[in-house]
Amino acid sequence: MNPTELLGALRRVRVVPVVTLPHVRHADPLGETLLGAGLPVAEITFRTPAARDGIATLRARHPELLVGAGTVLDRTTVDHAIDAGAQFVVAPGFNPDVVDHCLERKIPVVPGINSPTGVEAAVARGLPLVKYFPAEASGGLRLLDAMAAPYDGMAFMPTGGLTPDNLPDYLSRPHVAACGGTWIASTALLAEGEYEAIGRNARGAVEIAAAAATS
């Protein structure tokens, strides 16, 4: 998958569950739940030891699921993500060392930014997509709209503080390719095995995305 293909895939799904796995055993039922809800994507964050094996499990057992690696902070984690089968990398900030290593390894990378300086660093490297993070804490849509205006060719993936309540407003923006959300499959829901609740959250996100596409 190249960066353009990733952007196209994210524009189709519109919402990316951002998931911190408590244990690798949660990966398989999570993948089954997301696919059953019509949301075939997950970003697995490297915030727990379960991330690497969780990504590998999802890729092996649910090949139709688009699986990314999140909270990637260094080159070593990029390599772990690639070895596990991740199809894209997401970082909370713009670390040139991480971004350049991803480009060298030919895996799409979505670095985090919340300023025009970050956008220009991405433009300089030919990236078509950046993560707007932390979205709500940084200024929400007011900052995003102002920041996106000079960069017609750049797409954004807002993440951080998004909920079903503000998701429609974010998805209404043409410069927003997709939104990341932790509420869909929170660590607490996973730890408690609440897959029915996760499925409801995922279906709700799909419905919001569908409504935004027709509005």
Q: Would you give per-residue pLDDT tens digits along the chain (215 residues)? A: 999 999 999 999 999 999 999 999 999 999 999 999 999 999 999 999 999 999 999 999 999 999 999 999 999 999 999 999 999 999 999 999 999 999 999 999 999 999 999 999 999 999 999 999 999 999 999 999 999 999 999 999 999 999 999 999 999 999 999 999 999 999 999 999 999 999 999 999 999 999 999 87
Active site residue 43: yes
CB atoms under 10 Å from CB of 97, counted, come to: 11
The three-point CA angle 41-154-140 to 5° equals 75
The structure tokens listed for 66 are 């688009």
Active site residue 120: no
Q: Which of 131, 136, 192, 194 is catalytic?
A: 131
Cα–Cα distance measured from residue 65 to residue 87, given in angstroms and rounded to the nearest whole number: 10
Beta-sheet pairing, 15-19 with 41-45: parallel
pTM higher than the cut 0.85: yes
Q: Which of 32, 43, 106, 120 is catalytic?
A: 43
Taking domain 3-210, whether its CATH number is 3.40.50.1820 is answered by: no
